[in-house]
Amino acid sequence: KMYWLYLWQNAGASVNENMQLTKALEWYKNKSKTNYAKTNVECMRTSFSSSATNMFTNIKFNTYAYNYYLNEAWFKGELDSMDNYPKDISENTIVRILNKSNDERCKSENWKLWMHKFKQIYREQGCDVDYSNGGDG
């Protein structure tokens, strides 16, 4: 709990992953009894359909605009947050929302490139990412 509170201290309403990583390193350096564990099986999963940051600058895809359209679709009742649960929100749903936006910054084909690259990072760490988006891998 204290670690989480430390990471988010003075964060305000924004997510700054670089600041969180810096604080995580500070926490590790200053806490002598920091413990880590690894389970034999994955006990937590993440979404591969969205992120808070633009991490792949070589793909013409703006995650900020993308998240705006997802939020707007949810707010208007056009996106069911439980769509395809327990898997990630279906690709068809996301493609529909992006195509409706008609925004050059977040074309559905670029989102697919972005999402596959995002998954690859986790694959390289040995994670099972094929459960998301209906197992499209």
Distance CA 59, CA 80 (A): 27
pLDDT mean by block of 10 residues, the chain; 137 residues: 81 75 85 73 78 83 93 94 88 96 96 92 82 47
Any idea of the CA torsion for 119, 64, 13, 133, to the nearest 10 degrees? -30
Query: In the block, which residue shows the tokens 């793909």?
Result: 59
Check residue 106 and give its pLDDT.
Answer: 94
